[in-house]
Structure 1
Amino acid sequence: MISEANINENNAYSLLFREYSDVVNIKEMCEMLGGISTKTGYKILRENKINHFKIGRAYKIPKISILIYLKVIKESGIYSI
């Protein structure tokens, strides 16, 4: 079994969210964040808490940006595992 101590940032990317492509849409981002609502997902993006870009009207979110966001909220104590 892999422990948290054995996972570094370099291999975390390859272990987490394997089923998602490197760039996801808003619906996939919400699933990755534990099934939050799309309304909350759009709010997070509007507040620039997760790096993203738009192509036309569609939001595109790099998977690494979601991992960085999760690390930031874990380290800030907002969320604990």
Structure 2
Amino acid sequence: MYRKKSKAFYERMLKKYPDVMSIPQMSKACDVSSKTGYKLVREGRIDSLKIGRNLFVPKEYLISYLLIRDENNVR
């Protein structure tokens, strides 16, 4: 049975990652390809910050996405 995870779980899971991650770092943390990471940001599923030409995802934004995804039972 699928069990809902808490914010504390995701904070522990992402502890070794910086507070603001590049898309490749975020993708590695979520165990998805960089292509999928960019797609999630482009589609607006994960909020991001654009600094110059680069996109960054604050850890809090990623945790919010993971919690919403978990609520909707999306894998």
Instruction: Tell me the TM-score normalized by structure 2.
Output: 0.81
Other-structure match for 1:56: 52
1:41 and 2:44 correspond: no
- Between the two proteins, the alignment pairs up a number of residues equal to 72
Q: CA RMSD in A?
A: 2.0
Q: Which has the higher contact order (CA 8 A, sep 6+)?
A: 2
Other-structure match for 1:22: 19
Q: Which runs of 4+ in 1 moved over 6 A?
A: none
| Gap regions ≥5 residues in structure 2 | none
Q: Which has the larger radius of gyration?
A: 1
Instruction: Tell me the TM-score normalized by structure 1.
Output: 0.76
Q: Which amino acid aligns with 2:60?
A: I
Name the % identity. 33
